[in-house]
Amino acid sequence: MKEKVVLAYSGGLDTTAIIPWLKETYNYDVICCCVDVGQESELEGLDERAKLSGAAKLYILDVVDEFVDDYIIPTVKANAVYENKYLLGTSFARPLIAKKLVEIARKEGAVAICHGATGKGNDQVRFELSIKALAPDIKIIAPWRCNDTWKMQSREDEIEFCKAHGIDLPFAADSSYSRDRNLWHISHEGLELESPANEPNYDHLLVLSQTPEKAPDEGEYVTLTFEQGVPKTLNGKAMKASDILRELNKLGGKHGIGIIDIVENRVVGMKSRGVYETPGGTILMEAHTQLEELILDRDTLSCKKELSNRFANLVYEGKWFTPLREALQAFVESTQKYVTGEVKFKLYKGNIIKAGTTSPYSLYSESLASFTTGELYDHHDAEGFINLFGLSMKVRAMKQNELKNDK
Protein backbone atom coordinates (compact mmCIF):
# COMPACT_ATOMS: atom_id res chain seq x y z
CA MET A 1 0.00 0.00 0.00
CA LYS A 2 1.29 3.44 -0.94
CA GLU A 3 2.05 6.02 1.72
CA LYS A 4 -0.26 9.02 1.84
CA VAL A 5 0.28 12.76 1.79
CA VAL A 6 -2.34 15.37 2.69
CA LEU A 7 -2.28 18.38 0.37
CA ALA A 8 -3.68 21.77 1.34
CA TYR A 9 -5.80 22.14 -1.79
CA SER A 10 -7.37 25.31 -3.14
CA GLY A 11 -8.17 24.15 -6.67
CA GLY A 12 -5.89 26.78 -8.18
CA LEU A 13 -3.14 26.13 -10.68
CA ASP A 14 -0.36 25.77 -8.11
CA THR A 15 -2.01 23.11 -5.96
CA THR A 16 -3.42 21.34 -9.03
CA ALA A 17 0.08 20.99 -10.49
CA ILE A 18 1.36 19.76 -7.12
CA ILE A 19 -0.90 16.65 -7.25
CA PRO A 20 0.88 14.89 -10.16
CA TRP A 21 4.23 16.21 -8.91
CA LEU A 22 3.72 14.54 -5.52
CA LYS A 23 2.72 11.25 -7.17
CA GLU A 24 5.66 11.35 -9.55
CA THR A 25 8.27 12.52 -7.03
CA TYR A 26 7.28 10.53 -3.93
CA ASN A 27 4.89 7.86 -5.26
CA TYR A 28 2.31 8.99 -2.69
CA ASP A 29 -1.45 8.68 -2.75
CA VAL A 30 -2.56 12.31 -2.60
CA ILE A 31 -5.38 13.20 -0.20
CA CYS A 32 -6.59 16.70 -1.00
CA CYS A 33 -8.04 18.80 1.80
CA CYS A 34 -9.79 22.11 1.20
CA VAL A 35 -10.59 23.98 4.40
CA ASP A 36 -13.56 26.30 3.88
CA VAL A 37 -13.00 29.50 5.87
CA GLY A 38 -15.38 31.50 3.69
CA GLN A 39 -13.87 31.41 0.19
CA GLU A 40 -17.41 31.14 -1.28
CA SER A 41 -17.35 30.80 -5.10
CA GLU A 42 -13.72 29.68 -5.10
CA LEU A 43 -14.89 26.25 -3.88
CA GLU A 44 -17.02 25.50 -6.94
CA GLY A 45 -15.98 22.47 -9.01
CA LEU A 46 -13.21 21.36 -6.64
CA ASP A 47 -14.27 17.71 -6.47
CA GLU A 48 -14.12 17.16 -10.22
CA ARG A 49 -10.88 19.14 -10.55
CA ALA A 50 -9.13 17.15 -7.81
CA LYS A 51 -10.13 13.81 -9.36
CA LEU A 52 -9.07 14.90 -12.86
CA SER A 53 -5.71 15.88 -11.40
CA GLY A 54 -5.14 12.44 -9.88
CA ALA A 55 -6.12 12.90 -6.23
CA ALA A 56 -7.15 9.74 -4.40
CA LYS A 57 -9.64 11.63 -2.25
CA LEU A 58 -10.88 15.15 -1.50
CA TYR A 59 -12.10 16.53 1.80
CA ILE A 60 -13.97 19.84 1.89
CA LEU A 61 -14.29 20.96 5.50
CA ASP A 62 -16.70 23.75 6.45
CA VAL A 63 -15.08 25.43 9.46
CA VAL A 64 -16.48 28.95 9.02
CA ASP A 65 -18.15 29.11 12.43
CA GLU A 66 -15.06 27.69 14.16
CA PHE A 67 -12.95 30.23 12.29
CA VAL A 68 -15.12 33.11 13.47
CA ASP A 69 -15.71 31.95 17.05
CA ASP A 70 -12.25 30.62 17.92
CA TYR A 71 -9.90 32.75 15.82
CA ILE A 72 -11.59 35.96 14.62
CA ILE A 73 -13.51 36.89 17.78
CA PRO A 74 -10.51 36.40 20.13
CA THR A 75 -8.48 38.65 17.83
CA VAL A 76 -11.24 41.28 17.81
CA LYS A 77 -11.43 41.11 21.61
CA ALA A 78 -7.67 41.72 21.66
CA ASN A 79 -8.00 44.65 19.20
CA ALA A 80 -4.99 43.07 17.51
CA VAL A 81 -3.79 44.93 14.39
CA TYR A 82 -0.41 44.32 12.76
CA GLU A 83 1.68 47.45 12.13
CA ASN A 84 -1.34 49.68 12.84
CA LYS A 85 -3.16 48.67 9.65
CA TYR A 86 -3.37 44.97 8.83
CA LEU A 87 -6.33 43.18 10.45
CA LEU A 88 -4.65 39.74 10.18
CA GLY A 89 -7.14 38.15 7.77
CA THR A 90 -4.76 35.60 6.24
CA SER A 91 -2.68 35.26 9.40
CA PHE A 92 -5.29 33.79 11.73
CA ALA A 93 -6.81 31.55 9.04
CA ARG A 94 -3.58 29.62 8.50
CA PRO A 95 -3.32 27.97 11.95
CA LEU A 96 -6.90 26.69 11.67
CA ILE A 97 -6.22 25.31 8.18
CA ALA A 98 -3.06 23.64 9.49
CA LYS A 99 -5.00 22.15 12.41
CA LYS A 100 -7.50 20.59 10.01
CA LEU A 101 -4.73 19.27 7.76
CA VAL A 102 -3.23 17.53 10.78
CA GLU A 103 -6.62 16.06 11.73
CA ILE A 104 -7.08 14.61 8.22
CA ALA A 105 -3.50 13.35 8.19
CA ARG A 106 -4.17 11.47 11.45
CA LYS A 107 -7.45 10.11 10.13
CA GLU A 108 -5.86 8.89 6.88
CA GLY A 109 -2.60 7.71 8.45
CA ALA A 110 -0.63 10.07 6.20
CA VAL A 111 3.12 10.43 6.63
CA ALA A 112 3.36 13.95 5.20
CA ILE A 113 1.52 17.24 4.73
CA CYS A 114 2.15 19.41 1.68
CA HIS A 115 1.36 23.09 1.11
CA GLY A 116 1.77 25.33 -1.92
CA ALA A 117 3.13 28.44 -0.20
CA THR A 118 6.18 30.00 -1.82
CA GLY A 119 9.60 30.34 -0.22
CA LYS A 120 9.30 34.13 0.01
CA GLY A 121 6.03 34.50 1.88
CA ASN A 122 4.66 34.42 5.39
CA ASP A 123 2.32 31.49 4.83
CA GLN A 124 5.07 28.87 4.73
CA VAL A 125 6.03 29.99 8.24
CA ARG A 126 2.44 29.97 9.52
CA PHE A 127 1.59 26.55 8.08
CA GLU A 128 4.78 24.88 9.19
CA LEU A 129 4.97 26.34 12.71
CA SER A 130 1.39 25.21 13.30
CA ILE A 131 2.05 21.71 11.96
CA LYS A 132 5.22 21.41 14.04
CA ALA A 133 3.31 22.46 17.16
CA LEU A 134 0.47 20.00 16.56
CA ALA A 135 2.20 17.07 14.84
CA PRO A 136 5.99 17.19 15.15
CA ASP A 137 6.30 13.67 13.71
CA ILE A 138 4.67 14.46 10.35
CA LYS A 139 6.90 15.34 7.40
CA ILE A 140 6.29 18.71 5.72
CA ILE A 141 6.70 19.14 1.96
CA ALA A 142 6.97 22.62 0.41
CA PRO A 143 7.39 22.10 -3.38
CA TRP A 144 8.49 25.68 -4.09
CA ARG A 145 11.55 25.05 -1.91
CA CYS A 146 12.37 21.70 -3.57
CA ASN A 147 14.83 23.07 -6.10
CA ASP A 148 16.03 19.64 -7.26
CA THR A 149 12.61 18.27 -8.16
CA TRP A 150 10.27 21.27 -8.57
CA LYS A 151 11.34 22.78 -11.91
CA MET A 152 8.34 25.02 -12.58
CA GLN A 153 8.92 28.77 -12.28
CA SER A 154 5.86 30.28 -13.97
CA ARG A 155 2.18 29.72 -14.65
CA GLU A 156 3.08 28.70 -18.19
CA ASP A 157 5.42 26.02 -16.80
CA GLU A 158 2.69 24.70 -14.51
CA ILE A 159 0.09 24.60 -17.30
CA GLU A 160 2.49 22.66 -19.56
CA PHE A 161 3.31 20.29 -16.70
CA CYS A 162 -0.39 19.61 -16.11
CA LYS A 163 -1.06 19.01 -19.81
CA ALA A 164 1.89 16.60 -19.98
CA HIS A 165 0.22 14.61 -17.21
CA GLY A 166 -3.18 14.52 -18.89
CA ILE A 167 -4.68 17.43 -16.96
CA ASP A 168 -6.19 19.91 -19.38
CA LEU A 169 -8.11 22.38 -17.24
CA PRO A 170 -9.14 25.96 -18.14
CA PHE A 171 -6.28 27.75 -16.42
CA ALA A 172 -5.25 31.05 -17.97
CA ALA A 173 -1.60 31.89 -18.49
CA ASP A 174 -2.19 35.64 -18.25
CA SER A 175 -1.06 37.38 -15.12
CA SER A 176 -3.53 38.31 -12.41
CA TYR A 177 -3.46 39.44 -8.80
CA SER A 178 -2.42 36.94 -6.16
CA ARG A 179 -5.41 36.82 -3.84
CA ASP A 180 -6.37 35.20 -0.56
CA ARG A 181 -10.01 35.23 0.51
CA ASN A 182 -11.95 34.19 3.57
CA LEU A 183 -14.97 35.47 5.49
CA TRP A 184 -12.88 38.18 7.17
CA HIS A 185 -11.13 39.72 4.16
CA ILE A 186 -9.58 39.45 0.73
CA SER A 187 -5.96 40.36 0.03
CA HIS A 188 -4.43 41.45 -3.28
CA GLU A 189 -0.78 41.35 -4.35
CA GLY A 190 1.05 41.51 -7.68
CA LEU A 191 0.70 43.44 -10.95
CA GLU A 192 0.90 47.23 -10.38
CA LEU A 193 1.00 46.68 -6.60
CA GLU A 194 4.54 45.32 -6.85
CA SER A 195 5.78 48.91 -7.02
CA PRO A 196 4.81 51.21 -4.13
CA ALA A 197 5.13 54.07 -6.63
CA ASN A 198 1.98 52.91 -8.44
CA GLU A 199 -1.56 53.80 -7.47
CA PRO A 200 -3.77 50.68 -7.17
CA ASN A 201 -6.17 50.12 -10.05
CA TYR A 202 -9.19 49.87 -7.77
CA ASP A 203 -11.67 49.46 -10.63
CA HIS A 204 -9.85 46.29 -11.64
CA LEU A 205 -8.84 45.14 -8.18
CA LEU A 206 -11.74 45.36 -5.71
CA VAL A 207 -13.93 42.32 -5.08
CA LEU A 208 -15.85 42.90 -1.83
CA SER A 209 -16.07 46.67 -1.95
CA GLN A 210 -16.39 49.81 -3.98
CA THR A 211 -14.28 52.90 -3.50
CA PRO A 212 -15.55 55.67 -1.20
CA GLU A 213 -15.98 57.88 -4.26
CA LYS A 214 -18.52 55.42 -5.67
CA ALA A 215 -20.27 54.80 -2.35
CA PRO A 216 -23.80 56.19 -1.81
CA ASP A 217 -24.15 59.89 -1.12
CA GLU A 218 -26.39 59.10 1.87
CA GLY A 219 -24.93 57.63 5.04
CA GLU A 220 -26.40 54.53 6.71
CA TYR A 221 -26.85 53.98 10.44
CA VAL A 222 -25.87 50.64 11.95
CA THR A 223 -26.32 49.37 15.52
CA LEU A 224 -24.34 46.51 17.06
CA THR A 225 -24.67 44.98 20.51
CA PHE A 226 -21.99 43.02 22.35
CA GLU A 227 -22.03 40.68 25.33
CA GLN A 228 -18.66 40.17 27.03
CA GLY A 229 -16.90 41.31 23.87
CA VAL A 230 -18.86 39.04 21.50
CA PRO A 231 -21.19 40.59 18.86
CA LYS A 232 -24.76 39.42 19.41
CA THR A 233 -27.16 41.57 17.37
CA LEU A 234 -27.04 43.69 14.25
CA ASN A 235 -29.70 46.38 13.84
CA GLY A 236 -31.79 44.71 16.51
CA LYS A 237 -31.66 41.21 15.02
CA ALA A 238 -29.97 38.41 16.96
CA MET A 239 -27.50 36.44 14.81
CA LYS A 240 -24.51 34.18 15.25
CA ALA A 241 -21.20 35.97 14.85
CA SER A 242 -20.47 34.57 11.38
CA ASP A 243 -23.80 35.88 10.04
CA ILE A 244 -23.19 39.28 11.61
CA LEU A 245 -19.85 39.40 9.80
CA ARG A 246 -21.49 38.43 6.48
CA GLU A 247 -23.99 41.27 6.82
CA LEU A 248 -21.30 43.75 7.87
CA ASN A 249 -19.27 42.76 4.81
CA LYS A 250 -22.21 43.76 2.60
CA LEU A 251 -22.78 47.04 4.45
CA GLY A 252 -19.10 47.91 4.62
CA GLY A 253 -18.47 47.01 0.99
CA LYS A 254 -21.41 49.18 -0.08
CA HIS A 255 -19.97 52.22 1.73
CA GLY A 256 -16.28 51.73 0.84
CA ILE A 257 -15.20 50.75 4.37
CA GLY A 258 -11.96 48.95 5.17
CA ILE A 259 -9.82 49.31 2.04
CA ILE A 260 -6.15 49.67 2.96
CA ASP A 261 -2.96 49.94 0.94
CA ILE A 262 0.01 48.83 3.03
CA VAL A 263 3.71 48.09 2.80
CA GLU A 264 4.26 45.56 5.57
CA ASN A 265 7.28 43.81 7.05
CA ARG A 266 7.10 40.09 6.34
CA VAL A 267 8.35 37.50 8.83
CA VAL A 268 11.04 36.39 6.36
CA GLY A 269 12.69 39.83 6.37
CA MET A 270 11.42 41.60 3.27
CA LYS A 271 8.85 44.31 2.78
CA SER A 272 5.79 43.57 0.66
CA ARG A 273 3.00 45.74 -0.66
CA GLY A 274 -0.64 44.71 -0.78
CA VAL A 275 -4.18 45.97 -0.76
CA TYR A 276 -6.63 44.48 1.72
CA GLU A 277 -10.42 44.63 1.72
CA THR A 278 -11.83 44.05 5.20
CA PRO A 279 -15.22 45.78 5.21
CA GLY A 280 -17.04 43.87 7.94
CA GLY A 281 -13.95 43.27 10.03
CA THR A 282 -13.07 46.96 10.08
CA ILE A 283 -16.55 47.82 11.33
CA LEU A 284 -16.49 45.08 13.98
CA MET A 285 -13.07 46.15 15.26
CA GLU A 286 -14.07 49.81 15.45
CA ALA A 287 -17.36 49.06 17.22
CA HIS A 288 -15.61 46.89 19.80
CA THR A 289 -12.98 49.57 20.38
CA GLN A 290 -15.66 52.23 20.88
CA LEU A 291 -17.39 50.09 23.49
CA GLU A 292 -14.17 49.43 25.38
CA GLU A 293 -13.53 53.18 25.59
CA LEU A 294 -16.53 53.45 27.91
CA ILE A 295 -15.88 50.39 30.03
CA LEU A 296 -12.18 49.70 30.63
CA ASP A 297 -10.34 51.70 33.26
CA ARG A 298 -7.28 53.72 32.29
CA ASP A 299 -4.58 51.29 33.46
CA THR A 300 -6.26 48.21 31.97
CA LEU A 301 -6.85 49.94 28.64
CA SER A 302 -3.23 51.13 28.51
CA CYS A 303 -1.85 47.67 29.28
CA LYS A 304 -4.23 46.04 26.82
CA LYS A 305 -3.03 48.31 24.01
CA GLU A 306 0.55 47.20 24.63
CA LEU A 307 -0.37 43.52 24.73
CA SER A 308 -2.63 43.88 21.68
CA ASN A 309 0.43 44.72 19.63
CA ARG A 310 2.24 41.64 20.99
CA PHE A 311 -0.80 39.49 20.24
CA ALA A 312 -0.89 40.81 16.66
CA ASN A 313 2.79 40.06 16.13
CA LEU A 314 2.38 36.49 17.39
CA VAL A 315 -0.57 35.86 15.07
CA TYR A 316 1.23 37.43 12.10
CA GLU A 317 4.31 35.27 12.75
CA GLY A 318 2.32 32.03 12.83
CA LYS A 319 2.70 31.45 16.56
CA TRP A 320 -0.95 30.78 17.32
CA PHE A 321 -0.32 27.44 19.00
CA THR A 322 2.06 28.79 21.64
CA PRO A 323 1.83 29.25 25.43
CA LEU A 324 2.32 33.01 25.07
CA ARG A 325 -0.66 33.42 22.72
CA GLU A 326 -2.78 31.38 25.14
CA ALA A 327 -1.61 33.50 28.08
CA LEU A 328 -2.28 36.76 26.25
CA GLN A 329 -5.71 35.53 25.25
CA ALA A 330 -6.45 34.65 28.89
CA PHE A 331 -5.60 38.24 29.85
CA VAL A 332 -7.80 39.57 27.06
CA GLU A 333 -10.71 37.37 28.15
CA SER A 334 -10.46 38.75 31.68
CA THR A 335 -10.84 42.29 30.30
CA GLN A 336 -14.02 41.38 28.41
CA LYS A 337 -16.16 40.52 31.44
CA TYR A 338 -18.02 43.84 31.30
CA VAL A 339 -17.62 44.68 27.58
CA THR A 340 -21.37 44.60 27.05
CA GLY A 341 -23.48 47.30 25.44
CA GLU A 342 -24.69 48.93 22.25
CA VAL A 343 -22.71 50.80 19.62
CA LYS A 344 -24.37 52.97 16.98
CA PHE A 345 -22.52 54.51 14.06
CA LYS A 346 -22.99 55.86 10.56
CA LEU A 347 -21.23 54.46 7.51
CA TYR A 348 -20.44 57.15 4.98
CA LYS A 349 -17.96 57.07 2.09
CA GLY A 350 -15.23 55.04 3.77
CA ASN A 351 -15.85 56.46 7.26
CA ILE A 352 -17.27 54.94 10.43
CA ILE A 353 -18.79 57.86 12.34
CA LYS A 354 -19.82 57.52 15.98
CA ALA A 355 -23.53 57.98 16.66
CA GLY A 356 -23.82 56.93 20.30
CA THR A 357 -22.49 54.21 22.63
CA THR A 358 -24.19 52.87 25.76
CA SER A 359 -23.37 50.22 28.34
CA PRO A 360 -24.69 49.30 31.80
CA TYR A 361 -21.02 49.00 32.80
CA SER A 362 -19.92 52.37 31.47
CA LEU A 363 -17.37 54.18 33.68
CA TYR A 364 -18.29 57.49 32.11
CA SER A 365 -20.02 59.81 34.57
CA GLU A 366 -21.79 62.85 33.16
CA SER A 367 -21.73 64.56 36.55
CA LEU A 368 -17.97 64.10 36.83
CA ALA A 369 -17.19 65.00 33.23
CA SER A 370 -19.33 68.12 33.14
CA PHE A 371 -17.99 71.55 34.05
CA THR A 372 -20.44 71.77 36.93
CA THR A 373 -18.81 71.18 40.34
CA GLY A 374 -20.24 68.09 42.02
CA GLU A 375 -19.82 66.27 45.32
CA LEU A 376 -17.35 63.70 43.98
CA TYR A 377 -14.96 66.20 42.44
CA ASP A 378 -13.78 69.39 44.08
CA HIS A 379 -11.80 71.58 41.72
CA HIS A 380 -9.61 72.72 44.61
CA ASP A 381 -8.33 69.14 45.07
CA ALA A 382 -6.60 69.43 41.72
CA GLU A 383 -4.04 71.89 43.13
CA GLY A 384 -2.59 69.40 45.60
CA PHE A 385 -2.68 66.63 43.04
CA ILE A 386 -0.78 68.71 40.50
CA ASN A 387 1.82 69.70 43.11
CA LEU A 388 2.55 66.06 43.93
CA PHE A 389 2.19 64.77 40.37
CA GLY A 390 4.69 67.35 39.10
CA LEU A 391 7.02 67.28 42.12
CA SER A 392 9.83 65.39 40.38
CA MET A 393 9.74 67.81 37.45
CA LYS A 394 9.88 70.80 39.79
CA VAL A 395 12.77 69.35 41.83
CA ARG A 396 14.75 68.64 38.66
CA ALA A 397 14.26 72.20 37.41
CA MET A 398 15.32 73.62 40.80
CA LYS A 399 18.50 71.51 40.79
CA GLN A 400 19.36 72.59 37.26
CA ASN A 401 18.92 76.24 38.25
CA GLU A 402 21.21 75.71 41.27
CA LEU A 403 23.91 74.26 39.03
CA LYS A 404 23.63 77.17 36.63
CA ASN A 405 23.94 79.65 39.52
CA ASP A 406 26.98 77.82 40.94
CA LYS A 407 28.72 78.16 37.60
* pLDDT tens string 319-328: 999 999 999 9
What pLDDT, on a 0 to 100 scale, did the predictor assign at position 40? 82
Percent over 90 (pLDDT), the chain: 87
The catalytically annotated residue of 178, 242, 272, 362 is: 178
Q: What is the mean pLDDT of the chain?
A: 95
What pLDDT, on a 0 to 100 scale, did the predictor assign at position 171? 80
The catalytically annotated residue of 10, 36, 53, 94 is: 94
Q: CB–CB of 167/53 below 8 Å? A: yes
91 is catalytic: no
Q: What are phi and psi of 45, to 5 degrees?
A: 75, 15
Provide the greatest CA pair distance for the chain: 92
178 is catalytic: yes
Nearest CA among 353, 346, 349, 348 for reference residue 212 = 349
Question: Strand, coil or helix: what is 334?
Answer: helix
What pLDDT, on a 0 to 100 scale, did the predictor assign at position 374? 63
The catalytically annotated residue of 10, 36, 91, 123 is: 123
Which are the contacts of 356, defined by CB distance < 8 A and separation ≥ 6?
Answer: 344
Model confidence band, residue 372 (pLDDT cutoffs 50, 70, 90): low
- What value does the mean pLDDT take over residues 364-374? 71
- For 30, other C-beta atoms within 10 Å of its C-beta total 26
What pLDDT, on a 0 to 100 scale, did the predictor assign at position 380? 83
14 is catalytic: yes
What pLDDT, on a 0 to 100 scale, did the predictor assign at position 342? 98
pLDDT in tens, 227-270: 999 999 999 999 999 999 999 999 999 999 999 999 999 999 99
123 is catalytic: yes
